Amino acid sequence: MIENHLPTAELQRLDAAHHMHPFTHGDALAEKGARIITKADGVFLTDSEGNEILDAMAGLWCVNIGYGRKELAEAAYRQMLQLPYYNTFFQTSHVPAIELAARIAELAPGDLNHVFFAGSGSEANDTNLRMVRQYWAMMGQPDRQVVISRWNGYHGSSVGSGSLGGMKFMHEQGGMPIPGIEHIDQPDWWSEGGDMTPEAFGIARARALEERILEIGADRVAAFIAEPVQGAGGVIVPPETYWPEIKRILAKYDILFVADEVICGFGRTGNWFGSQTYDLVPDIMTIAKGLSSGYAPIGASVVSDKVAGVIGKGEFAHGYTYSGHPVAAAVALENLRILDEEGIVERAGSVTAPYLGAKWNSLTDHPLVGEARICGLMGSIALTPDKARRAPFAADKGTVGLICRERCFANNLVMRHVGDRMIISPPLTISEAEIDLLIERARLSLDEALDIVNRDGLMEAA
């Protein structure tokens, strides 16, 4: 079972001694020992003990194409032999960056025809923060510097992108948010909608944008950034009234719109981009994750004719050593070819999403599950001790979610928790039989979690 690596306990010891993990309590992990993933194929991971785990998160929302596609490995190999690295600074370019930029422009909606490459989603959003401010400076409106975003939105973990994000627990560490970024409330009806209907709540939360613009002064607002569907915040699918009202407000005050498509892009919502699912017209789209299906690190800002036309009139003093990295670009191109030619995005929207959606929504008959929400192949369920009141648990937020996640892990299912919401985002290539297995393992895990919750007296509402 152990193939060509040290025994698990030894790997765990070395990991604890030398490897600092992202978003992890280091000492707690060291005590427990990390689960070590050794290989993967399709939608299944294999760990160092030989367990086969259904990855209902597609890694970190990124392995849209599924694991084990040799074509992507071969594209990387060929490109490394041909030209492993060259930069795109100083008036040079190379074939993979050119072809990928052109292909992204073809796929992107509207006049999003220009691509500024980055190494990740965080980097791309840092680019966006500077680009929207520089746009207005070059337009002769240098006071337009404020960017509005949303509490519980996620835009990355660098200082700029983490400030754009609305994760308060992140802001508490390391001096975020930086000045010039303001947050408004999110359209999470289940948790924050009170007595309102979802429709009325969607309008109310969109109007919060207009109120904030007027407070700041429209002549000081550069842009609004948001995910079409919040991912890391817990797969918060907004009420249907939300986006049309946001669109109206952005147009009225001539505010740039940055759609953060890092998760929603490349088929996740059932179309190539979440902006198509919600009929949005971004000035800039942030992309990463599904762009390469996670096989190589790459992100980008996809920029409209309007914005690129202005930015191009001067030197934009910004860029990364690995902007448009040839190997990552070649891998992304091959990924896009397969997503398109094998009809993976098309099938995700027309076949897989309806099948998964019906099964997912059926989980609401479970005693622990309040609402189920799903958009394409990203879904969430809210755990609650009292469905009628949409009540949170009396226990600390996330206590029950963590219990449920641990049961999922024990049952060889990767399903994450965000507070007391359970979330999924499987590879787009997941089959109907694999969806059945996902739901079967999710139900089993929910049953086991319910037993523990009852045993420990946690079924108490706040």
Ligand X SMILES: *Cc1c(COP(=O)(O)O)cnc(C)c1O
The Cα-based distances of 253 to 112, 213, 224, 260 in angstroms read 21, 8, 11, 20
Which of these ranges, 121-129, 211-219, 319-327, 408-416, lies near ligand X under the rule CB under 6 A? 121-129
Q: Does 232 help bind ligand X (rule: CB under 6 A)? A: yes
From candidates 250, 288, 338, 446, binder to ligand X by CB under 6 A: 288
Measure the N-to-C terminal CA separation of the chain; round to a whole number of Å: 46
- CA-nearest of 157, 153, 212, 214 to 182 is 212
Write down the residue that tokens 């040799």 correspond to. 70
The neighbouring-strand residues paired with 40 are 45
∠ CA(39), CA(45), CA(46), 5° rounding?
Answer: 60
Backbone angles phi, psi at 428, to 5 degrees: -65, -20
Alpha-carbon distance 222 to 284, whole Å? 12
Which of these ranges, 108-116, 224-232, 367-375, 407-415, lies near ligand X under the rule CB under 6 A? 224-232
CB 243 to ligand X: min, Å: 16
Q: Does 434 help bind ligand X (rule: CB under 6 A)? A: no
Q: Does 263 help bind ligand X (rule: CB under 6 A)? A: yes
CB 158 to ligand X: min, Å: 7
Q: Does 155 help bind ligand X (rule: CB under 6 A)? A: yes
Give the residue nearest to ligand X (CB): 121
Residue 357 carries which side chain, given as an amino acid letter? G
From candidates 59, 156, 290, 419, binder to ligand X by CB under 6 A: 156
Alpha-carbon distance 330 to 15, whole Å? 31
Nearer to ligand X, 55 or 210 (CB): 55
Q: Does 418 help bind ligand X (rule: CB under 6 A)? A: no
Q: Does 308 help bind ligand X (rule: CB under 6 A)? A: no
The Cα-based distances of 133 to 38, 148, 181 in angstroms read 44, 12, 12
Helix axes 326-341, 95-107, angle to 10 degrees: 40
CB 22 to ligand X: min, Å: 9
Q: Does 357 help bind ligand X (rule: CB under 6 A)? A: no
Nearer to ligand X, 96 or 162 (CB): 162
- CA-nearest of 422, 369, 368, 355 to 57 is 422
Nearer to ligand X, 260 or 434 (CB): 260
CB 75 to ligand X: min, Å: 20
Q: Which two tokens stand for residue 8?
A: 């698990």
Residues 10 to 69 in contact with ligand X, rule: CB under 6 A: 61
Residues binding ligand X (CB under 6 A) = 61, 120-122, 125, 154-156, 227, 231-232, 260, 262-263, 288, 299
